[in-house]
Every structure is written in structure tokens, then in C-alpha cells.
Amino acid sequence: MVEAAKLPPPLPLDAAAPGRRPQLGSILLREELLTREQLERALAEKEATGHRLGEIVVAHGWVSSAAVAQALAEQHGLEYVDLAKTHLEPAAANLLPEKFARRYDALPIHFAGEDIVLAVSDPTRRRSSRPTRAPSRTSASAPPRARPRSSSSTP
């Protein structure tokens, strides 16, 4: 008689190895925004087309772009910001030149002490390994730390 090997129980949906972020599909499953079948179909389409998972589930109408943006914010450890409901401080917004705002898809929305809080349309896009810096309110010689925040734009 042959004995079957005991397999470990499956990992929870939100489990990620230490130091690794959770996968977008796992977040969408956990939040019950996507079924396992839909995720499998989307992952197969991603493999076949090279399109991004968030774009695929939105294109199929399975998940809203706002829900994908919220999941991406969680995945990257960022706060989700709905720009339609956020007060923009003109003094903060004017610190980042338009060419950089467009290049990084970023918008300074307000100050948090000496820090400038940025909204970014897609936290997965990396256009530079260096953080975006802008002059502070009081002195261009002491730039504040920029803290990215995710916006409600389509990923």
C-alpha cells in the first residue's frame, strides 16, 4: 500500500513572504471583488497579451478602476486618495513644475508639516530610482521628503 504525502494547508489569500508585498489578485479575491475563475482568466490573458492585471479586470468590467487603484495603494503600502474629494493646496501644487508632474504622473496635494504629500496615478510605475523632491515652503535649500500617495486615476 502506498501512502499519500501530506500537503501543507494552502496559504491565506493575503499571505505574502516577509518583505514582499501581497499580489494584486490576492487583494481583489480577499475583498471579494473578483472570483477565482475571473482571476484565472485574467492571469491567462495577462500571460498571453502582456497587459497588466488591473487593466484586464477593469476592461472586462469585473472590477472598477477605483477599486483597482485602492488595491494597488494597499499593495504598495500607500494611502488611497480620491482627488474628487481632496482639497488641493495651491501652494503645494505649484512647487512641482508641470513637466515633472506629467513625467511622474504626480500631483502635490498638500503639506503635512514640512513634507509635501503627493498623489500618484499609478504606484507601480517607476520612472526614476530617486525620490521626487521639491523646495519647501520656506527655503529651497531644505527640501522636504516627498511621501507618495495613490490617487483614484485608472491604473
124 shares its domain with 92:
yes
Give the domain range for residue 129: 83-150
C-alpha distances in Å from residue 134, one per residue of 12, 20, 106, 139: 41, 29, 12, 10
87 shares its domain with 56:
no
The answer to whether position 37 is within a domain reads yes
Q: What is the model's pLDDT at position 45?
A: 97
Looking at 63, 93, 117, which one is the last position of a domain?
63
The answer to whether position 18 is within a domain reads no
101 shares its domain with 56:
no
Q: Which residues pair with 111 in a beta bridge?
A: 116
Q: What is the model's pLDDT at position 18?
A: 64
Q: Which residue has the higher pLDDT, 53 or 105?
A: 53
The answer to whether position 42 is within a domain reads yes
Judge contact between 138 and 70, C-beta under 8 A.
Answer: no
End-to-end, the C-alpha distance of the chain in Å comes to 54
The answer to whether position 78 is within a domain reads no
Q: Which residues pair with 149 in a beta bridge?
A: 119
Q: What is the model's pLDDT at position 40?
A: 96
Whether residue 22 has pLDDT greater than 80: yes
pLDDT in tens, 119-141: 988 888 765 434 444 444 433 32
138 shares its domain with 98:
yes
Number of domains in the chain: 2
Q: Which residue has the higher pLDDT, 32 or 82?
A: 32
Q: Which residue has the higher pLDDT, 15 or 105?
A: 105
58 shares its domain with 87:
no
Q: What is the pTM of this model?
A: 0.67
88 shares its domain with 144:
yes
pLDDT band at 6; cut points 50, 70, 90: low
Average pLDDT over residues 21-27: 94
